[in-house]
Amino acid sequence: MNFVTLWFLTTAEEATFGYSPENAISVTIDEVALPINAVMPQTHIRFDWAIKKLLRNKANYVVLAGFLSELLGKQVKIQSILESESNRQAEDDKLNRVDILAENDQGELILIEVQNSTEQDYFHRMLYGTAKLITEFLEKGEPYSKVRKVYSVNVVYFSLGQGDDYIYQGKLDFNALHLEDKLGLSINQKKLFNIKEVSEIFPEYYVIKVNNFNDVAKNTLDEWIYFLKKSQIKEEFTAQGLAEAKENLLVDSLSEEERANYVRYMENRRYEISMIEGSRSEGRLEGREEGRLEGREEGRLEGREEGRLEEKVNIARTFKHEGINIETIAKATGLTREQIEKL
């Protein structure tokens, strides 16, 4: 009897770098037909690398516009990709952060950032990024009414803050302290600036915590989040921009040189994750040693233990997303196979 072994690839990295034995099953050729397209989902380029290399091309503006239209809940047309001091492309591919600055046909600025590793002051950096854009794009002598509307879109692959949802929106409102009302625009201000709410003037923030997504796409925005997490686009997806992404962002469509660059980029990302987590492990060991020497009270030890466990879970989730096999994750984090499989 003839046997064939199948590998079900779960991430873009596994498809790029090879299979993992725990994903394999054996079946007999006599027992099952092998519809190749059904077994091997097409692999697409990770969104951060697409931002870095492909979405700056005018031909691919429709992909970026589709993502932003679904997220912002309004039709977005990309007028141009701008270069600011914060988003110039670096020669070194080994970056944990990738960003792109777009201008839509309304003159609004949209800063999209993808952050792969933990950054404790990330909220502060979000604020700094929008503040810098406001001042950078206001010419000297211009009135304050010329301040651009700024959207800050943050795609993060680490556990930012506390919260179990996967999409968060932040915008500014002025709420009364004594009365149940909100400070709004006057009739003249609405006519003069052609806006309805005060919040339309101030920066608006979006945080997408990709790892919190449960892989179930309930609407078109979820379809984009699925793509951000899996680098895969299902046949039934209808979200704006995904049809073009499916066509233009295939790994197989890259030239040999581009594919080599992409592979190097992904290898560098894995190396960086390994280096970062190695440094954290050393820090935790030093912290435990200091704690023993200083005789920290039991309550603080328990708190630190809970924190370490949470950090291990975050590291394991990131590694799993990167396609690293479960045995390696278990050795690196100390978690059991069962704990890792549930992530």
- b/e for 318-342, b at 16 or more Cβ within 10 A? bbbbbbbbbeebbebbebeeebbee
Q: Is the pLDDT of residue 250 over 90?
A: no
* Overall average pLDDT of the 239-247 stretch: 90
Quick one: pLDDT band at residue 256, thresholds 50, 70, 90? Answer: confident
CB 333 within 8 A of CB 315: yes
Q: What is the pLDDT of residue 26?
A: 43
pTM of the predicted structure, to 2 decimals:
0.68
Residue 212 reports pLDDT greater than 70: yes
Q: Rg of the chain over CA atoms, in angstroms?
A: 23
- Res 339 pLDDT > 90: no
pLDDT band, residue 226 (cuts 50/70/90): very high
What tokens appear for 145 in the block? 């009414």
What's the CA gap between 156 and 95, in Å, rounded? 14
β partners of residue 111: 101, 152
Q: Which residues are registered as beta bridge partners of 114? A: 98, 155
Q: What is the DSSP letter of 213?
A: -
Q: Are 216 and 231 in contact (CB under 8 A)?
A: no
Residues 292-332 have pLDDT tens digits of 555 555 555 556 666 677 777 888 787 777 677 787 778 77
Q: Which residues contact 18 (CB under 8 A, 6 or more apart)?
A: none
Of the candidates 137, 61, 159, 145, the residue with the CA atom closest to the CA atom of residue 102: 61
Sign of CA dihedral 265, 93, 120, 67: negative
pLDDT in tens, 5-61: 444 444 444 434 444 444 444 444 344 444 444 444 567 778 877 877 778 888 889
Please determine, for residue 75, whether its predicted confidence score (pLDDT) is greater than 80: yes
Instruction: Identify the residue with better confidence: 161 or 276.
Output: 161
CA distances (Å), origin 145, targets 111, 183, 202, 338: 21, 18, 12, 57
pLDDT band of residue 176 (cuts 50, 70, 90) is: very high
Given this model, what pLDDT does residue 137 score?
Answer: 93
Alpha helices in 27-151 (DSSP H): 36-39, 47-53, 61-72, 122-136
Contact 172, 198 (CB under 8 A): yes
Q: Which two tokens stand for residue 237?
A: 């997806």
Q: Which two tokens stand for residue 291?
A: 């704690």
Nearest to 91 by CA among 273, 266, 274, 261: 261
Largest CA distance in the chain: 82
Looking at every residue in the chain, the average pLDDT score rounds to: 78
The string of pLDDT tens digits covering residues 114-153 is: 888 788 899 999 999 999 999 999 998 899 999 999 999 9
